[in-house]
Structure 1
């Protein structure tokens, strides 16, 4: 508590605390949503199995217009990445970079250094999860567990990595996309929405693969709005680069988003549900569709309407300390949420007390509260163990890094290895016989990429000894 009070007291007066609250709320909603809609039963072999209850509860589909909070992640991520990139350029200038001081909101300095530093808090907690799962899977395999069943368990535990793949692709694009934002402003997300529309038209008229580009275009569009939000807090940028933050703008965005959403889903060809449900004509979230972007527009309107009262509330010490506490382990909570479910199901099954009521029954609804509370206890224990890994990933100022082409090449290779590893794991069949739970090529690619980025963060190849550089840069 003392540490939280100190962090709260040191919060800069100009910090947009609402962004931190949105990140914490979004993570909480994802975790509670996954836990609440999970259905646990037994397969034909008598082993525990799980699936989503949404397919059996169509009346709940409109609730996903609010519960699908991935757009909030990318909106907040765009704001945070723009702030971090701008701060990095300013810090590099102060610590010895040549040239005039950057203008407010301008990007300068070493983009490769920013990317390497930015990767720490994303990669370290993810590496901990993958290594623990791989070791656990190897132990289970050595004890003669079925490799296909081992893979199924690990596949379920790594479902959150789907989101991380998309975000890790967007982060390296921040420097060039922010440069585009500074030149063209809100025209950039508008053009990206147009590309999403073309992708949707392709998959409605032809194969679903024609919309593959929407994975990038859809999330980039929302990420760009985060840039516009960041620029809106500075008087210097022209209006075309600013996100309107007034209540009137909130009303307009909420109304327009809901109207478009109803037209696209109730009248148009898109499913009402914003999460994956087997059997629907297309998936609104994978890849992002026009309907999901309409939902994102409505969510943005609601966010703006609640901004002023939320900011006043966050000026109080208690709420702000709670937000700081959640955000200090926010990625750990997100990554380990389904591992907590795996552990609890395994424990209850071993004890012979695993409830499996029918979806929608009174017993099923009654089981939701003790189920969520028990999962919260398990997850809290996991956060106590693994949360410090994320907390130690906070960044400290470093010296100006030399701009060398090979550093950029290694950074790109490292990031590519991480993304390729996570993507290969997500694309591998749930029941594939994998002794390590994860495909061996995926694990090798990921660890090699993470190792490269860790080497660059240590200061290897920079001026001064690697050991001294490591002491200066221990985190995000």
Structure 2
């Protein structure tokens, strides 16, 4: 169905603001990545990719507005609550069906992305090609996959966390916040090793829990949420061991992002409250047919654009280097002048990649199972777990060194790229098989 048809068929009960937040948050992340990348050529001729925020620290305060991943995870909580309740009404033992339905538009384009880049990396390695920007690209393009891994965990934990929400409401959210506080106390106060990795769950799932509260109309006064989050983040950064930037900086001893910290959780509260304050004017704007059609169309390709946007950015830089265009010093006046048309070129190339790969973001025609087999739930849970560790591992190790067994440390475990790819593929197949009907396409 075309975006215009989907827009015309939108029921009056749909929360259009949630759809706008989904598109806007991913678009902001993409734009931020394009702006932060600081590619330069050193005196020895080697290509280096730095971070503008590290080179120009005065811009780090902007991450308090433009680090919007918490908004996307908040939107996920809202959508997952509605989806799980809907699936449970239609299908007994619905876990495998729910996972497949929620993950199709996430995992299918992700698996294609991994397959394409894995094949390119293998071909380059067998041909003995590499060096320069190419080696950097093989590492960088996989980094956004961390987001996919976190989102997989959110989907997987939706049923039990939603039950806690339905029983305890704000208390369930408070429990996750308390756990995040405890983790940071153990980490920074007592120096307990590896405990910080638990906040990948507690911090992001707490933000996800806010989406449940929003789905039930229990979010309360958003200005209180925004104010408390902003004040909390400011106090933690001003008097605690937390850095100013809400995104990771190269070489820093403590990152608010990896693993997430209590400061990032407060930042998430501030952002969620802030965007909720914009709801009323945004809804009036979304009632315009042309605006809503644009949002619907963008939602249909948002994951594909997110997965391929770094490929497009690095492709633009590669073309500039191949053409002998001089790259100005990152952060200089000439650099900022060049930024505008570099972004235009990256948008254009991303559009081309979306046109090529957008079909994989559409749900497949295989029908849901109306009566899942007994093994379907455990198989789907195993599948999503394999996918989670696979994409997180790949985000850390990248596509380089496929044949050399290059490793990266994932939560105290060394992982290789081939192992991460195999976990992702086998997990995706399990999720697909467990939630699919016995027949063919509908």
TM-score normalized by the length of structure 2: 0.92
**Inter-partner Cα distance in structure 2 for 1:162 and 1:227:** 23
- Corresponding position: 1:154 with 2:138: yes
Q: Distance in 2 between matches of 1:196 and 1:13?
A: 38
Contact kept, 8 Å, 1:270 with 1:281, in 2: the verdict is no
Alignment partner of 1:305 out of 277, 292, 295? 277
CA distance in 1, matches of 2:421, 2:168: 40
Aligned to 2:78: 79
- Change over 3 Å in CA distance of 1:78–1:17 after alignment to 2: same
Give the match for residue 400 of structure 1: 370
Q: Is the 2:207–2:269 contact (alpha carbons within 8 Å) kept by the matching residues of 1? A: no
CA contact (8 A) 2:78 2:211 kept: yes
Structure 1 Cα separation of the partners of residues 213 and 299 of structure 2: 23
Deviates more, 1:163-172 or 1:214-223: 163-172
Mapped to 1, the partners of 2:17 and 2:403 lie a distance apart of 43
Whether the aligned pair in 1 keeps the contact of 2:372 and 2:434 (CA below 8 Å) is no
Q: Root-mean-square deviation (CA), in Å? A: 2.3
Report the Cα distance in structure 1 between the residues aligned to 2:23 and 2:254, rounded to whole angstroms.
Answer: 30
Larger fraction in strand = 2
Residue of structure 2 aligned with 1:190, choices 166, 171, 174? 174
Q: CA deviation at 1:134?
A: 1.1
Structure 1: gaps (5+ residues): 98-108, 233-241, 460-465
Distance 1:158 1:45 in 2: 27
CA distance in 1, matches of 2:145, 2:170: 30
**Structure 1 residues 326, 138: CA separation in 2 closer, same or farther (over 3 Å shift)?**
same
1:268 CA displacement: 2.9
Query: In structure 2, what is the Cα distance between the partners aligned to 1:187 and 1:394?
Result: 38
Change (3 A) 1:175 1:424: same
What is the correspondence of 1:387-426 to structure 2 with a 5 Å cutoff? 387-390=358-361, 392-393=362-363, 398=368, 400-404=370-374, 406-426=375-395
| Shift in Å, 1:420 | 2.3
- Say whether 1:166 aligns with 2:150: yes
Distance in structure 2 (CA, Å) of the matches to 1:396 and 1:444: 23
SS of the equivalent of 1:51 reads strand
Q: Are residues 352 and 72 of structure 1, via their aligned partners in 2, closer, same or farther at CA, if it must alter by over 3 Å?
A: same
Q: Deviations over 1:2-59 (max 9, x none)?
A: 9222111110101110000001100110000000111011357634331211111111
CA contact (8 A) 1:203 1:211 kept: yes
Distance change (3 Å), C-alpha of 1:429 and 1:16: closer
Residue from 168, 180, 201 that aligns with 2:164 = 180
Q: How big is the shift at 1:231?
A: 1.1
CA contact (8 A) 2:242 2:263 kept: yes
Tell me the residue number matched to 1:455. 433
389, 394, 417: which one pairs with 1:439? 417
Equivalent runs, 1:28-427 vs 2, <5 Å: 28-42=27-41, 46-92=45-91, 109-146=93-130, 152-205=136-189, 206-207=191-192, 209-232=194-217, 242-244=218-220, 249-353=221-325, 355-390=326-361, 392-393=362-363, 398=368, 400-404=370-374, 406-427=375-396
Report which of the two structures shows the higher radius of gyration computed on alpha carbons. 1
Shift, 1:150, TM fit = 6.0
Runs of 4+ in 1 over 4 A off after TM superposition: 146-151, 394-397, 429-438
Q: Kindly tell me: are residues 318 and 89 of structure 1, through their superposed partners in 2, closer, same or farther at Cα, counting changes over 3 Å? A: same
Q: Deviations over 1:358-394 (max 9, x none)?
A: 122111111110111110011000000001210x227
Name 1:4's counterpart in structure 2.
3
Deviation at 1:471, TM superposition (A): 0.8
Could you tell me the TM-score, scaled by structure 1's length?
A: 0.85
Distance (whole Å) between structure 1 residues aligned to residue 193 and residue 328 of structure 2: 36
1:40–1:48 contact (8 Å) kept in structure 2 = yes
Structure 1 CA distance, aligned partners of 2:137 and 2:60?
A: 27
